[in-house]
Amino acid sequence: MLTSVTTDTPNAPERQVLPELATTTARVVDDPQEWQAFSTPVAAPVATADPQAGEWSSYISVEGMHCAACALNVESALLGVPGVSRAEVDAASKRARVQWHAGRVKPSAWFDAVRRAGYDAIPAHDPVGRLQRQSETRLALWQWAVAGFCMMQVMMYAAPEYVYGPGEIPADSLRLLHWAGWVLSLPVLVFSCTPYWKSAWHDLKARRVGMDLPVALGMAIAFVVSSLATFAPGGWWGDTVYFDSFTMFVFFLLTGRWLTLRLRDRTAGALDEVLNRLPEAVQRQTEPGVWEQVSARQLRVDDVIRVNPGERFVADGQLLDVDTWVEEALLTGESHPQERRVGDQVLAGSHNLSQQVMVRITQLGADTRHAQIVGLMHDAALDKPRVGQLADRWAKPFLWGVLVAALAAFAYGAAQGWPHAVMAAVSVLIVTCPCALSLATPSALIAAAGRMAREGVLVRKVQALEALSQVDTVVFDKTGTLTTGLSGVERVWQPHLPSTGLAQPQPEAAGLEVTTRHAWAALAAASNHPVARAVASWVATSEQPLSHGVTSIREVPGEGLEGEWESPTGLQRLRLGSLRFCEAWPGVHVPESARSATVHVVTEGQWWMSLLLAEQLRPDAQATLDALQAMGLTVHLMSGDRPEQVQRMAQQCGLDEGRAHGHCTPQDKLDRLRQLQAQGHRLLMVGDGFNDMPVLAGADVSMAFAQAVPLAQAHADVVALGGRLMVVAHLIGLARQTLSVVRGSLMWALAYNFLAIPVAVLGGLPPALAGLGMAASSLWVVLRALPLNKTPSQTHSV
């Protein structure tokens, strides 16, 4: 389960956090074994030194900073902790580097210092990914700088030839100038052109024509011809050198590439932040019946762990106690649930679907989740929506056409002499820019995804942006989506109390003994359903051992939980759930006054207690619904909760009564969805996936909030961290904007090519201008995408 997430208003209730998790955070970051994940030791290598004794350099992600002054605040907060020797905070990337001494301070101390200053700190989990991106960026910067400096100097050497007529410069001076141009074009050839050589080489090996092949060909021809003209000026290749054109168009190309890389970097950085989490906490058995919460990293082979429905299996293992259904879509692509029986293997990264199970670990791997999600993000980033795929399909025949046009230019220009012909061919090769066709879509999508990532929204499938732009209906789940979840018990009904029930009671006042509370907590903790979580946190005591003689726990989706309890008075079967579920036992009757409660607890033959859970609409729910309706979208609300409650919430946020449906089973929701789709509507489903997985999967686009079960997060097209519902409206608006930018860019790219190629074929385009044209068109397409990345600036009040 995740811990704190920023909320909008000071009075907004926070999500329920089970008591043990607050200390889990501290336990986890103070564990020396965890340090490797986000820190590197400073002086001696870890093998020789005791990890407790040395200096460590840690990277953390800081949330809540909105300007440079915040960065300074965080820095001084960190430096104020004794034992911290250095702290550098970068406001742009929201990262901080902290150097501290393990013998003098524990990480939780300086994590707390950051929190006390009003910000949130999370270990940055990707030292490897970050280093790799850093070295890639540095290389790209180097290549660009080399091209830039050499271009400028080569221009100086070429200038005299532009100014003076032929024959006016003494021959040996001319040769010197050419030689100098050649020398300084070498670094460009060797360093700056390598991305193109590599890409062209791959294309040749794969026997296909890629985007960079014509460019590489053009570069090679220009350089070779110019070199020949420098050292052997008498041949058929003429004696004009084109080093200035060569370096210039390399520079322009790299400028376009550099900007694209920076954009990609910023987006990847934002996405990485969003993926940074505390390491997963897992329940591990220390002795039979006794469980402790540990970080997933501390698990060893042969440990026995407990996994709830909706949670992920963190390691390969063998099922010990009950059969269950699992889902391995992230691993095998198989989205149908698979049954696993006692004794079967379950795989790391798959999700548990139906029952709480015990698993003996057989194999541990590297942190598969982070790698998995990052892998998914990379794939998702490379996936292109239909529009982009169309462009790719055209790119191939287009490129063959380019080669043909180059030959035609050569043939046409041969009439004016070989040098002209060669240069005309080079111009054609360089001026055509299919990369604009293939750059238009990714640059817009990445810009949009990066902007959403800054708002805490992870766009997992980039195709989702295209679908989002066409959405005309939004369906919300209620609990945890439109509302902030269940935040406490408002009313309690019991057998021997007045029919109005007790208002705002504590468990002790309701007459629950400690053993009973432990039993209920154990039962409720076996599910991630919001109602179960709320009950669990209400009855939780300060010391909550994690097992209380409640066994054979079974969850019925949409209904409730059932278990067997070894109570002091004997073995009792308990049920916790909806009215229908609880009254299914003969003899159980819930009195009239309690029938509208949210959840009921019964034993066989007797009603025990009913609880009404308080629920609050998200602060921005009304504003979001208004915004969505203003954008022309229809909004529906579907929930499994009681209709009266659903109607009440709908009224509170201005939703039409006819569009709010209560008592929806997962099948009902799916049916309504299909009905709407059959009418031609395109749907965005926003929910927490609990019991809704088929509905999330069935919608055109699905969105899960961070409190959703890991399974829903893994499958939803979009995951929203943070509690702001407005991101739904922002996302749809941005998606529409993105698609229009993509279409516009494709039109520009097409128009440019249709105009430029004929001119180049007819020999009217010098190579330098060709380079400028190509780079300009790539740049233009990327620049059109940049506004998508900007957060709208706030208007200043006078």
Partner 1 sequence: MLIPLSVGLVLLILLGLWWAIHSGQFESLDSEAERILKDD
Minimum CB–partner distance for residue 92 and partner 1 (Å)? 6
Q: Residue 89 Cβ, how far from partner 1 at the closest point, in Å?
A: 8
Cα(187)–Cα(147) distance, rounded to whole angstroms? 8
**Four-residue CA torsion sign, 697, 699, 703, 706:** negative
Give the angle 456-458-459 at the CA atoms, nearest 5°: 140
Proportion of the chain in helix, strand, coil states, percent, rounded to 5: 50, 20, 30
- Which residues, in sequence order, are CB contacts of 323 under 8 Å at separation 6+? 339, 340, 341, 342, 355
Cβ 722 to partner 1 shortest distance, Å: 25
Give the pair of three-digit tokens for residue 225.
């011809």
Smallest gap, in angstroms, from Cβ of residue 185 to partner 1? 11
Q: Least separation, in Å, of the C-beta of 69 and partner 1? A: 8
Angstrom CA distances, 525 to 65, 295, 493, 615, stand at: 35, 18, 22, 20
Nearer to partner 1, 88 or 339 (CB): 88
Question: How many Å apart are CA 350 and CA 315, to the nearest integer?
Answer: 9
3-state secondary structure at position 786: helix
Angle between helices 243-275 and 171-187 (to 10 degrees): 20
Tokens of 508: 């002790």
Please state, in angstroms and rounded to a whole number, the distance separating the CA atoms of residues 654 and 630. 13
Q: Which is nearer to partner 1, 184 or 782 (CB)?
A: 184
Nearer to partner 1, 69 or 290 (CB): 69
How many angstroms separate the CA atoms of 121 and 98, rounded? 12
CA–CA separation, 708 and 529 (whole Å): 9
Q: Determine which one of 212, 477, 688, 717 is catalytic.
A: 477
Strands (E), 421-472: 457-459
Nearest partner of 288 among 308, 301, 306, 300, judged by Cα = 306
Instruction: Give the Cα separation of 138 and 265 in Å (integer).
Output: 12
We find the least distance from the C-beta atom of residue 181 to partner 1, in angstroms, to be: 9
Distance, in Å, from the CA atom of 152 to the CA atom of 250, rounded to the nearest integer, reads 12
Residue 220 near residue 242 (C-beta atoms within 8 A): no
- Confirm whether 477 is a catalytic residue: yes
Q: What are phi and psi of 194, to 5 degrees?
A: -55, -40
Measuring CA to CA, which residue among 487, 445, 485, 481 is closest to residue 789? 445
DSSP code of residue 165: P
Task: Supply the minimum distance, in Å, between the C-beta of residue 274 and partner 1.
Answer: 20
Catalog residues that contact partner 1 under the rule CB under 8 A: 68-69, 71-72, 88, 90-93, 134, 138, 141-142, 145-146, 149-150, 153, 156-157, 176-177, 180, 183-184, 187
Q: How far is the CB of 454 from partner 1 (least distance, A)?
A: 16
Burial of 392 (0-12, 13-18, 19+ CB in 10 A): middle
* CA 754 centroid distance within chain: 38
Minimum CB distance to partner 1, residue 40 (Å): 15
Q: Which of 396, 397, 395, 427 is nearest to 409 (CA)?
A: 427
Task: Tell me the backbone φ, ψ of residue 692, rounded to 5 degrees.
Answer: -115, 10
Residue of 468, 302, 458, 456 lying closest to 385 (CA atoms): 468
DSSP 793: P
Name the residue nearer to partner 1 (CB basis): 131 or 204.
Answer: 131
Strand partners, 686: 476, 703
Q: 345 with 317: CB under 8 angstroms? A: yes
Least distance CB 450 / partner 1 (angstroms) = 18
Q: Give catalytic residues, as residue numbers.
A: 477
